[in-house]
Amino acid sequence: MSVKVRVLALAVITLLIGVSIGAVFVGPLITHSRTVHLTSYKTKTFYSTLSVTGYLTETSATTVFTTKTLTEIKYSTYTSTKTEIGTTTIYKTYCRTPMFSTISSDDPYKDFYVTYCGEIIFSKARTQIWDYTFIPGDEMNYVHLLIGYLKNGIWDFAEGFEDKVKTLLINSEGRYLEWISYLHEDEHDFESKAHVRIYVVNGYIIIKVESSITPHEDFDNVVDLYVEFGRKSGGFKSTAIKVGEEILTQEMVYTGEERYVSHYFEDKKLGRNGWIAGETLDGGATLALVFKSAEIITPEGYIIEIDEITPSTLDSAGHYDTIELHLIEAEWSRPETLKTGYTYRLTYYILISGENGFLWIDNLISFL
């Protein structure tokens, strides 16, 4: 693991940075497949503006050669121009006024539902996000950090489904949502927190998560510290990771029976903006986790920045496949210890699309 250390002042100031909302496709609510020809031009100027303009020509069962224009303005300090041309088939929902909201739930296992353009898209449940209803299947996304540890020589994990999670809704409706969920885990005595922001960039729903754990006593025999996105309904057809400029793919096993097959990619490392993704069994959607940053903060205020983390995907023959980002990935013969008073923090993106394959991911990351 590549690590560099820098010293901060003992008083650490945390800045809550507002979410920058990207350009959004404008149009009526559409939920069918269409072929898209997209040409985008990115121009960065020294005078502090970045203009991103895309021209979208689409054909579908109801629309023929409709052209839409999208423009995004950001701040920058240098000048460059890049042109990208691509063709893909997508399945998305567009709406005239893209707005999020939350709806309370009577289900004791769900805290609230999240809607987009008036439609429920998933539910927030304790330390997880459940049921991404716009993707066919049964998804369970652990947004909090999970601790995998050895107990009497057998792998076990802490976190996951907890009844004592408290949630602070910072913004419950509008062009973006934001909440913080946190808990004190009694059995192992640690604090867990996830700061979640949801917004739209170029028609894609973006979920940005800052997840952290602070133990109040040493947590020994730790072999994994990670987040995961899992599929119960048939698992993944294939998975892939982005390492440097290379995309590595792995076909997954499907038998329909419950059995462990393998973990893949654990011998690789992801740098910043590297990702791991999975394609649904029917090829109808792709899910991705993107590594943004990771730090370990000591009680004295030192920050250890972690430049690389480990990707991993679990293959269980279609019973419950996962894609994962591991802040700690230790050998069982050499487990690690989460130290008292240290904060272990991982910031990452959750990306979802109805497009086939993995090429759309880097195009979207360029906007993030």
| Domain membership flag for residue 364 | no
Please tell me whether residues 207 and 330 are part of one structural domain: yes
CB 94 within 8 A of CB 112: no
pTM check: above 0.85:
no
Q: What are phi and psi of 342, to 5 degrees?
A: -80, 145
- Domain annotation covers residue 229: yes
Range of the domain at 82: 34-91
Q: Based on the structure, what is the number of domains in the chain? A: 2
Task: Render pLDDT for 14-50 as a digit per residue (tens, 0 to 9).
Answer: 333 333 333 333 222 333 334 444 444 444 433 344 4
pLDDT digits (tens, 9 = 90+) for 230-242: 988 778 999 999 9
Handedness of CA 199, 201, 204, 206 (dihedral sign): negative
Closest among 336, 349, 35 to 197, alpha carbons compared: 349
Confidence of residue 55 (pLDDT cuts 50, 70, 90): low
Say if residue 50 is in the same domain as residue 122: no
In this predicted structure, the answer to whether residue 136 has a pLDDT above a threshold of 70 is: no
- Is 365 part of any domain? no
In a domain, 368, yes or no: no
